[in-house]
Amino acid sequence: MALTGQAKAEYQRQYMRRIRNGSAKATKRPTCSFCAEAGSLERLLVGDQTCAICEECVTLAVARIAEARQARS
C-alpha cells in the first residue's frame, strides 16, 4: 500500500533524519553482503551498493567449492 498525505510526509521526515544520522542506505559505506564488513584497501569489495562480496568471503567460497568438488570425485 502506497503512503499518502500525513503518513507519507512523516515517512519522508524520518527518512531525512536517518540520512542525517548516517544510518540510511544512501550514505552507508559499501559493506560485504555476506560478512557485513566494510570494504577497504585490505578488503576489496566486488559488487555494488545492492549486493557485494569481499575478498575474504570469495576466498572462503572458493575453498568451500573446492572441498565440495573433492568430496564429489
Binding site for Zn ion (CB under 5 A): 32, 34-35, 54, 57
User: In the complex with Zn ion, which residue's Cβ is closer, 3 or 35?
Assistant: 35
In the complex, the smallest distance separating the C-beta of residue 35 from Zn ion, rounded to whole angstroms, is: 3
In the complex, the smallest distance separating the C-beta of residue 49 from Zn ion, rounded to whole angstroms, is: 15
3-state SS assignment for residue 38:
strand
Residue 46 belongs to what H/E stretch? strand 45-47
In the complex, the smallest distance separating the C-beta of residue 31 from Zn ion, rounded to whole angstroms, is: 8
For 9, other C-beta atoms within 10 Å of its C-beta total 11
